[in-house]
Structure 1
Amino acid sequence: MKKTQNIEYAENIRGACIKAAQEGFMDASISGLCAEGAMEAAISAMQSLNLKKILDEEQSS
């Protein structure tokens, strides 16, 4: 695997983590959780990401 490919994969995973965190935080905030609870929800959203699916999608494109 080329170095540029590794960087692209890493950037896509980082982007997916950021998106999951933002969505998790927003959903929790809308549901009325405090900032600490919303942050926990954001972290949980990142932990539950299916990294294999993200990599498989990258390899198929």
Structure 2
Amino acid sequence: MAEKVRDACLQAALKAYEDAGISGLCAEGRWEIAVQAIRTLDVQELLTRADTPADR
């Protein structure tokens, strides 16, 4: 379970960082956007999906 949450946080941060770079933000701005992506990640959805047999 913890690995799924960690992986989701990492994916959200990497995507946000890349998207922010494409938008022209500097490294500091990209980092702020990446952190915000982690903060706004819907962890409850991850936990709900983890309860389904397909994710086990």
The one-letter amino acid paired with 2:35 is: I
Runs (4 or more) in structure 1 with deviation over 2 Å come to none
RMSD: 0.5
Aligned residues: 53
Deviation at 1:60, TM superposition (A): 1.1
1:27 aligns to 2:22 (yes or no): no
Structure 2 unaligned regions, length at least 5? none
TM-score (normalizing by structure 1): 0.85
Structure 1 unaligned regions, length at least 5? 1-8
For the residues of structure 2 that align with 1:29 and 1:45, how far apart are their CA atoms? Answer: 14
TM-score (normalizing by structure 2): 0.92
Deviation at 1:21, TM superposition (A): 0.3
Residue by residue over 1:31-57, the C-alpha shift from the partner in whole angstroms, topping out at 9 and shown as x without a partner, is: 000000000000000000000000100
Highest Rg: 1 or 2? 1
| Among candidates 11, 21, 28, match of residue 3 of structure 2 | 11
Name the counterpart of 1:47.
39
1:38 aligns to 2:30 (yes or no): yes
